[in-house]
């Protein structure tokens, strides 16, 4: 199986973003004990959960790389 350069680059950026966000532990995504906050609109929840932020970073990176390759 052969992967294109865009996919490999997007995968690398995704893993780097995952590592950075889990190390940094932004208060919008993690509680004071370092656990993930749940997705929601209540006081102890967030609209920016870890899984959603990393998914958007990965997909937008791949989409940007594909567009750049076609230009």
Task: Please identify which residue in the block is written with the tokens 């370092």.
Answer: 34
Q: Show the tokens assigned to 47.
A: 């609209």
* Cα 58 from Cα 39, distance rounded (Å): 19
**3-18 pLDDT, tens per residue?**
888 899 999 999 999 9
Instruction: Tell me the HSE value of 52 on the side-chain side, using a 13 A CA sphere.
Output: 11
**25-61 pLDDT, tens per residue?**
999 999 999 999 999 999 899 999 999 999 999 999 9
Of 44, 71, 66, 54, which Cα lies nearest the Cα of 13?
A: 54
Position 64 pLDDT exceeds 80? yes
Question: Are 37 and 45 within 8 A, CB to CB?
Answer: yes
| pTM metric for this prediction | 0.86
Contacts of 66 (CB under 8 A, 6+ apart): 6
């Amino acid at each position: 199986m052969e992967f294109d350069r865009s996919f490999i680059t997007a995968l690398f950026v995704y893993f780097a973003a995952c590592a950075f966000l889990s190390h940094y532990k932004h208060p919008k995504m993690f509680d004071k004990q370092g656990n993930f906050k749940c997705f929601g609109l209540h006081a102890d929840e967030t609209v920016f959960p870890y899984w959603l932020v990393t998914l958007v970073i990965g997909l937008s990176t791949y989409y940007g790389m594909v567009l750049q390759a076609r230009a």
